[in-house]
Amino acid sequence: MNDFIRQLADITGPGFVSSEPEERYLYSMDQGTMSPAEPDAVVMPGSTEEVRKIMLLANKYKVPVVPMGGGLVLSGLTRALHGGIILDMKRMNRILQINPKSRYAVVEGGASEGMLQAYLKKHHPELKHSMPDAPPIATLAGNICIHGSGHLSVLGGFHSDMLTGMEIVLPTGDIMRTGSCSVSPEWFARAPLPDLSGLFIGWSGTTGVVTKLGIRLFPSYSHNDMLIFVCEDADLMPDVISRLTGTQVAEDMTPWMTPKPEWARGFLHINISYGAHSKKELTFKRNLLQASVKKYSDQKIAGFLPLPPTEKSRFLKIPSPDLVKFADIRKGGGFEYVGAIMAIEHFAEAYRAGLQIARMYNVSYSMGARIIGAGHAMIFFYAYAFNRADPEDIKRAQHALEATNTAALEIGGIPWKSELPAQKQIINKMDQNTFNLMNQIRSVLDPNHIMNPGNWEK
């Protein structure tokens, strides 16, 4: 291993490789509940060429490689389960190209969500991309590879749907491209080619390393507003969501249910954000949204929450730092969530299951969802806070998460960016031929099985 590490240092320079106990400790875990797994070293490549050389070397020595972006996945996907190296991609954080007419950006594999947002605000204020609710240091590549979602997901679907192409370094050291950039100098779309991007999305870093990607951009409006719809009956939610998304004017819709603050307890809220190029257009869109659920407002069983402008601006801040504050609710710096992707008609069922699990395990919870597309699916979140200094509390959160994964699968949903135990649960429910094909693809791409081993395995 020492010789291997010396050779890594030859590739990146000695300052960007470490096998010291401090790095090995810190990179052995993330913020969630999964137990630590130490890498032998951490490497930070600065270019595609360096990634290529690292992969060639790792493949030669059969050393496991775990690619890592922001390291904020919370479900332990960037742990070195079989040792080897963590490939911290964040040095490769350049924004390479903005195409304002075809509305796409090309960025390096370690570029952060926050940096792209800031870059667009400065150089192309007429454009924006879909920011996730993750902290701004989260990487675009990481988020897309886990099928993330964000503030334009009603408009544009999952972030993986917004991907226009990728540059990948395969475990064998080959550099390949997916989408239009494999044929043309431009990165406008994945169509009409065989969609090879799918070989790298949702695989938890088990098939290759993303070194560049293209992502769709959207118009940034000069006028932005949001509404909060409130009701008490979870059974109404699928129809409410269907009606609201049916207007096709919202950019983002996020239902949320929390026991705190007190005024929110027991109610189901839906934040609906939308924008426009003029006040007149904004009013028109607001009217459309309000009209779509008039049936419920007229019956006085649901309605829109009056919001002072100061409150609105808090909700319109993207990303909202308020979300990570949930980690301090037990004064313990930890939270993890199950995000289960499912059809919206299961909303009430999912909500009740969450309440029951929180009660059963006595955990501090917060529930929410993000609507994808025109109500095509939702990611239903169950977040549990825990105290990192209290092993019992961590265990409690772990049990709650496991129970939630089980419940989500029973409802018909699929845990998102699933931690190891949930991956196994999914595999157990998965069509056997699908799993066989996954394994066949994996062995073609990664003959020595060096990419994030331990994930997506029985």
Partner 1 sequence: MLHEEILHRCFRCGYCKMPSNYIDLNCPSYLAFRFETYSPGGRMWLLRAWLDGKITLSKRFSEIMFSCTACGNCTEHCPFPNFKDLLLEAFTAARGAFLDEGRVPAGVRDYLTRMQLHGNPYGLPAKKRADWAGGTEIAPFTDQEYLFFAGDEGSYDTRGQEIARSVAKLLAKAGISFGILTMGENSDGNDVRASGETALFEELAKNNTDLFNEKNVKKIITLSPHSFNSFKKEYPKLGGNYQVFHYTQVLAFIIGKLKFRENQDPVLATYHDPCYLGRHNMDYYSPRMILSAVPGLKMAEMDRNKQNALCCGGGGGNLFTDVLSSCNESPARLRVREAKNTGATIMAVSCPLCAIMLEDAVKAEGLAGDLRVMELSEIVNDRIM
Tell me which stretch binds partner 1 (CB under 8 A): 198-206, 319-327, 363-371, 419-427: 319-327
DSSP SS3 for 21: helix
Give the integer Cα–Cα distance in Å for 97 and 103: 11
Give the integer Cα–Cα distance in Å for 450 and 458: 17
> In the set 334, 375, 415, 453, which binds partner 1 (CB under 8 A)?
334
Is position 133 an interface residue for partner 1 (rule: CB under 8 A)?
no
DSSP SS3 for 268: strand
Give the integer Cα–Cα distance in Å for 63 and 76: 19
The nearer residue to partner 1, 22 or 392, going by C-beta atoms, is 22
In sequence order, what are the beta bridge partners of 41? 85
Tell me which stretch binds partner 1 (CB under 8 A): 161-169, 326-334, 409-417, 431-439: 326-334
Tell me which stretch binds partner 1 (CB under 8 A): 131-139, 149-157, 202-210, 415-423: 131-139
The nearer residue to partner 1, 391 or 447, going by C-beta atoms, is 391
CA angle at 59 for the pair 46 and 200, rounded to the nearest 5°: 70
Whether the upstream peptide bond of residue 321 has omega within 30° of 0, thus cis, is no
Is position 392 an interface residue for partner 1 (rule: CB under 8 A)?
no
Question: Helical H runs in 172-272?
Answer: 237-246
Is position 331 an interface residue for partner 1 (rule: CB under 8 A)?
yes
Question: Smallest gap, in angstroms, from Cβ of residue 391 to partner 1?
Answer: 11
Residues 39-68 touching partner 1, rule: CB under 8 A, are 42, 44
Q: How many residues in the shown chain lie near partner 1 by CB under 8 A?
A: 45
Question: Smallest gap, in angstroms, from Cβ of residue 130 to partner 1?
Answer: 15
Is position 388 an interface residue for partner 1 (rule: CB under 8 A)?
yes
Question: Smallest gap, in angstroms, from Cβ of residue 155 to partner 1?
Answer: 22
Catalogue the E-assigned strands of 189-267: 209-216, 218-219, 223-231, 252-257
Cβ neighbours for 178, distance < 8 A, ≥ 6 positions apart: 165, 166, 168, 190, 193, 195, 196, 197, 199, 200
Is position 119 an interface residue for partner 1 (rule: CB under 8 A)?
yes
Give the integer Cα–Cα distance in Å for 89 and 139: 9
Residues 72-91 touching partner 1, rule: CB under 8 A, are 72, 88, 90-91
Tell me which stretch binds partner 1 (CB under 8 A): 242-250, 263-271, 318-326, 416-424: 318-326
Is position 96 an interface residue for partner 1 (rule: CB under 8 A)?
no
Select from 457, 451, 442 the least CA-distant residue to 62.
Answer: 451
> In the set 40, 47, 124, 137, which binds partner 1 (CB under 8 A)?
137
Give the integer Cα–Cα distance in Å for 159 and 151: 10
Question: Smallest gap, in angstroms, from Cβ of residue 135 to partner 1?
Answer: 4
Is position 22 an interface residue for partner 1 (rule: CB under 8 A)?
yes
> In the set 7, 40, 94, 114, which binds partner 1 (CB under 8 A)?
114
> In the set 59, 112, 271, 398, which binds partner 1 (CB under 8 A)?
112
Please tell me what DSSP assigns to residue 35: P
Where is 273: in which H helix or E strand? strand 268-276
> In the set 1, 6, 14, 25, which binds partner 1 (CB under 8 A)?
25
Q: What spatial distance separates the first Cα and last Cα of the chain, rounded to whole Å?
A: 28
Interface residues with partner 1 (CB under 8 A) are 15-16, 18, 20-23, 25-27, 31, 42, 44, 70-72, 88, 90-91, 112, 114-115, 117-119, 121-122, 135-138, 321-322, 324-325, 327-328, 331-335, 387-389
